[in-house]
Amino acid sequence: MRRVRAALAPYLLVLPGGLWLTVFFAVPLLAMLSLSTQEGNLVEGFRQTFRLQNYVDAVTLHWEPLVRSLLYGLATTAAAIVIGFPLAYWIAFKGGRRKSSYLFLILLPFFVSFVIRTISWKFLLTDEGVLLGPLKDAGVLPQGFHVLATDFAVIAGLTYNFLPFMVLPIYVALERIDPRVIEAAYDLYASRTQAFLRVVFPLALPGVFAGVLMTGVPAASDFVNASVLGGVDNTMIGNVIYNQFRASEYPMGASLSFILMALMLLGIFSYARALGTEDVLEVAAR
């Protein structure tokens, strides 16, 4: 009896999560896949016609926000690395006994709703707001200067919102580096730069990899930042998909979703390939 229970244990452990994902992820995903090749409208109903032309239409009509989303995602990821790596590095190596307090500070904005945070950015950056108003009055900036409704505003908002997802995994990777390994590099004649480039950074790569996944993917498919901080020229694919579903253009929304997903998976796999997945995953597993 005990042996039977022991043999069943792994399956029982997986069961709740497995069921949840099946019902709320796999089934809707298949429904969406089916929807993406259907034809029709809300009044007459949708019929499955296996119309692949939906995908072609989606790309021809919406290639612009699609490309923009990928570029925004890339820019956000790059900015998050540039800002997040030094932050994680400082906390991991110079944080001393206050490490956890600093990490908590990084997470603090998460206690405020995502939408509220983004809207408060709008107040900060608005044309006559607390930031730009005085600068314009003082004549530092021209009257026509604006930040909202620019690429910068959306990317800045995305970076702000997703930064902790970059900092945390990099911090974890750096934290796990044996300080003696870095000392060994110095002992073997490495300069500070060489020790960083040859030892610290390669050992932090699994963290950077995880950070890129957790920042780049949600950033590229985000729509809140573009709709709050962006203008008509800053529409992201998330906004388009959202609008398609609101307008009951389900097949178009669904096919766009799958195109985005495919592009993202493609990007991630080639990225992992370039880094050497096995290595990254192996080092990460230790």
176: Cβ contacts below 8 Å, ≥ 6 apart: 286
CA distance 252 to 194: 51
Given the complex with other proteins, which of 229 and 280 has the nearer CB atom?
280
198 part of the interface to other proteins, by CB under 8 A? yes
Which of 190, 261, 272, 284 touches other proteins by CB under 8 A? 190
CA distance 185 to 195: 6
* DSSP β-bridge partners for residue 112: none
187 part of the interface to other proteins, by CB under 8 A? yes
189 part of the interface to other proteins, by CB under 8 A? yes
DSSP assignment, residue 46? E
Which of 5, 16, 138, 178 touches other proteins by CB under 8 A? 178
Given the complex with other proteins, which of 111 and 189 has the nearer CB atom?
189
283 part of the interface to other proteins, by CB under 8 A? yes
180 part of the interface to other proteins, by CB under 8 A? yes
Binding segment for other proteins (CB under 8 A), chosen from 4-12, 125-133, 197-205, 231-239, is 197-205
User: CA torsion sign, 111 to 114 to 115 to 117?
Assistant: positive
Identity of the residue numbered 9: A
DSSP assignment, residue 216? H
* DSSP β-bridge partners for residue 39: 47
Binding segment for other proteins (CB under 8 A), chosen from 58-66, 179-187, 232-240, 257-265, is 179-187
Number of residues that bind other proteins (CB under 8 A): 20
183 part of the interface to other proteins, by CB under 8 A? yes
SS3 content of the chain, % helix, strand, coil (to 5): 80, 5, 20
* Joined tokens for residue 195: 């020790």
Residues at the interface with other proteins (CB under 8 A): 178, 180-181, 183-191, 194, 198-199, 202-203, 279, 283, 286
